[in-house]
Amino acid sequence: MTDRYCVFGHPVEHSKSPLIHAEFAHQTGQSIEYSAIEAPLDGFVDAWRQFVADGGRGANVTLPFKQTAFEMCDTLSHRAKRAGAVNTLILGGNGRTYGDTTDGVGLVRDLAYHRLELAGKRILVLGAGGAVRGLLEPLLQKAPSEVVIANRTATKAQQLADDFADLGKVQGGGYEDIQGTFDLVINGTSASLAGDLPPLPEQLFNKGGWAYDMMYGSEPTVFLQWAGPRGAKLLDGLGMLVEQAAESFFLWRNVHPDTSMVRDTLRQSLNY
């Protein structure tokens, strides 16, 4: 019997998830069917329940439904509770919905794939929304020397830093409060989607430092275009997308797919 999975979003037609999970299934010999479902903005919970009624076993959740998914779940993983969001749903044998988030582990595994060591490094994270909240626990577990969160609204960054201060040295403030240089700067804002750039100091990267944008596209993002001439090595969020999908696949099927071939396939499809 073929098990059914999907990704919920609005919009969702651009999603690479069906391609990614089809590749994972082929590679691991798993019999699954994976589709993309555009749920109404006010109808995500009903869409999930209908999917389950039709035989669905699990789902990925993308914007704008991650918070709603978090609130809907019967049981939450520790990392989902810390993140305050869910991107992976699993239907339990008792019919209850279990929620997890794989975004943070996806980013950390992507950095590891590129042999980027985080221990002892100074990291700057731009933004203080839900995307950033999901990253902080996995980042801090890698024992960086410090994580600095910068946001247009300084109080949001400060609150986020306070929420995760038990896991390591982390501070928050406005963009104007950024001081010193960093080994890794992660753009967790949605500014790239609008072709916008946060106000950043010219001297931001340590020698050999990295710029990472959680967004990706057929061209380097505005943030990466800015960071390259300022001496940074560049990474976009395509690898994170693949790695978080691999973690979801493992949660559903209890098998870890190899991500390298899928990375190559997706990168070639973007033509840069």
pLDDT digits (tens, 9 = 90+) for 113-143: 999 999 999 999 999 988 899 999 999 999 9
- Tell me: is residue 130 an annotated ligand-binding position: yes
Q: Which of 53, 213, 188, 71 is nearest to 61 (CA)?
A: 71
- Tell me: is residue 75 an annotated ligand-binding position: no
Quick one: pLDDT at residue 190? Answer: 82
Q: What is the mean pLDDT of residues 84-99?
A: 95
- Tell me: is residue 156 an annotated ligand-binding position: yes
* CB neighbour list of residue 260: distance below 8 Å, 6 or more residues apart: none
Whether the Cβ atoms of residue 5 and residue 32 lie closer than 8 Å to each other = yes
If DSSP states are collapsed to H, E and C, what string results for the chain? CCEEEEEEECCCCCCCHHHHHHHHHHHHCCCEEEEEEECCCCCHHHHHHHHHHCCEEEEEECCCCHHHHHHHCCEECHHHHHHCCCCEEEECCCCCEEEECCHHHHHHHHHHHCCCCCCCCEEEEECCCHHHHHHHHHHHCCCCCEEEEEECCHHHHHHHHHHCHHHCCEEEEEHHHCCCCEEEEEECCCHHHHCCCCCCCCCCEEEEEEEEECCCCCCCCHHHHHHHHHCCEEECCHHHHHHHHHHHHHHHHCCCCCCHHHHHHHHHHHCC
Q: What is the mean pLDDT of residues 79-105?
A: 95
User: Could you give the CA distance from residue 169 to residue 186 in angstroms, rounded to a whole number?
Assistant: 17
Structural domains of the chain, with CATH: 3-101 (3.40.50.10860), 104-238 (3.40.50.720)
User: Could you give the CA distance from residue 126 to residue 59 in angstroms, rounded to a whole number?
Assistant: 28
- Helix 260-270 to helix 17-28 angle (10° resolution) is 150
- Tell me: is residue 103 an annotated ligand-binding position: yes
Quick one: pLDDT at residue 193? Answer: 72
- Tell me: is residue 152 an annotated ligand-binding position: yes
- Tell me: is residue 50 an annotated ligand-binding position: no
The per-residue pLDDT for range 149-173, each reduced to its tens digit, is 999 999 999 999 999 999 999 999 9
User: Could you give the CA distance from residue 249 to residue 3 in angstroms, rounded to a whole number?
Assistant: 12
- Tell me: is residue 127 an annotated ligand-binding position: yes
**247 token code pair:** 């973690």
Quick one: pLDDT at residue 204? Answer: 97
| 272 has pLDDT over 90 | no
- Tell me: is residue 62 an annotated ligand-binding position: yes
Catalytic residue among 66, 81, 121, 142: 66
The per-residue pLDDT for range 1-11, each reduced to its tens digit, is 789 999 999 99
Q: Look up the pTM and report it.
A: 0.94
Quick one: pLDDT at residue 271? Answer: 63
The per-residue pLDDT for range 27-60, each reduced to its tens digit, is 999 999 999 999 999 999 999 999 999 999 999 9
Quick one: pLDDT at residue 98? Answer: 98
- Tell me: is residue 244 an annotated ligand-binding position: yes
The per-residue pLDDT for range 210-260, each reduced to its tens digit, is 999 999 988 899 999 999 999 999 999 999 999 999 999 999 999 999 999
Beta-bridged to residue 52, according to DSSP, are none
Quick one: pLDDT at residue 217? Answer: 86
Active site residue 66: yes
The per-residue pLDDT for range 167-224, each reduced to its tens digit, is 999 999 999 999 999 999 999 998 877 788 999 999 999 999 999 999 998 889 999 9
